Amino acid sequence: MSYKRGGVFAYLTFSKEVQLKEPKTIMGVDLNFDNATCAIVDLNGNLTTIYPLPYRGLRRALHLKKLAERLQRGHPKGWKYQRWIRRARARWSRRAKSILMDSAHYLAKRLVKIAEEYEAYIAFENLKKVRENGNHDDELAWEVQLWCYRRVQEFAKYKALVKGLKTIPVNPRNTSRKSPNGKPLKFIDYKVVELGRVVTSRDAIASWNIALRGLKKLRREHVEEEERRMRGFGVTWSPDGLACEGVKTRPDARNPEAIKSSTTI
């Protein structure tokens, strides 16, 4: 519970037991400034479909953030002491955050709905260290994008778990620069590439690679889990243990003396 802007806010938490479903496909998601591109591959690595999910929330929120920053820079010394500037800046910042939160929930909901339709686990880029590789020409835009991307991943993670699905973080390195099917990859411009004889976008290539990396990681996790399970069947040897009954010497049924001496012992 907290007190903000003259109101009392209560935060409620809940828990729910879910059973993870076995996936039939893997969905790779490449988050961008104005769209999220999805690629779905089956468990053999064959591409099923690719399509973009456009959204405008990030662009609108960034516009409001820049208005607030521009107003502050226009009054570098006195903005803290002028009420109208503080109010306008706070209003724009609150509006931008509200738009980002709504957009993140909306996009995460759509992603989980598609994943549920295809019975897919969702593979995302691991954003923990992606800031170091970002474009710092516009620091504010980069900070807003990262904030929104992380919210989308967090919201999609718990929304997917409720449906019995899970998310898989993968290495984001060179996802848009590597050919996903071994065919030659030629860059036409910043956004358009030619894969073999097919012209497509870098976002589609990135989402395809993300899906394949998610599938590879899922296979590796299954192998490691199976190895742990098999190691769990190890039995400690004991002379009197049931597991050792099969290695004890048995009397020869064709030799009555051996049976008699075994009984006597």
- CB contact set of 62 (below 8 Å; sequence gap of 6+): 96, 140, 141, 144
pTM of the prediction? 0.75
User: Alpha-carbon dihedral of residues 55, 146, 28, 113, nearest 10 degrees?
Assistant: -50
Confidence of residue 46 (pLDDT cuts 50, 70, 90): very high
The pLDDT of residue 137 is: 54
Q: At what angle do helices 83-118 and 139-162 cross, to 10 degrees?
A: 40
- For residues 225 and 2, give the distance between their C-alpha atoms in angstroms, rounded to a whole number: 43
- The yes-or-no verdict on residue 10 having pLDDT over 50 is yes
HSE, side-chain direction, 13 A CA sphere, residue 247: 8
Q: What percent of the chain has pLDDT over 70?
A: 78
Higher pLDDT, 163 or 262: 163
- The mean per-residue pLDDT over the stretch 210-228 comes to 90
Confidence of residue 83 (pLDDT cuts 50, 70, 90): confident
Phi, psi at 99, each rounded to 5°: -65, -40
The pLDDT of residue 231 is: 76
- The mean per-residue pLDDT over the stretch 180-209 comes to 91
Higher pLDDT, 35 or 68: 35
The pLDDT of residue 111 is: 95
List of domains in the chain: 18-238 (3.30.420.140)
CA distances from 131 to 20, 35, 142, 143, 211 (A): 32, 19, 8, 9, 22
- The mean per-residue pLDDT over the stretch 162-189 comes to 91
- The yes-or-no verdict on residue 190 having pLDDT over 70 is yes
- The yes-or-no verdict on residue 181 having pLDDT over 60 is yes
At 244 the three-state DSSP class reads: helix
- The mean per-residue pLDDT over the stretch 53-82 comes to 77
| 191 closest CA partner among 35, 26, 29 | 35
Residue 190: Cβ-neighbour burial (10 angstroms; 0-12, 13-18, 19+)? exposed
Confidence of residue 90 (pLDDT cuts 50, 70, 90): confident
The answer to whether 23 and 118 are in contact (CB under 8 A) is no
The pLDDT of residue 99 is: 87
Q: What percent of the chain has pLDDT over 90?
A: 38
- The mean per-residue pLDDT over the stretch 185-203 comes to 90
At 122 the three-state DSSP class reads: strand
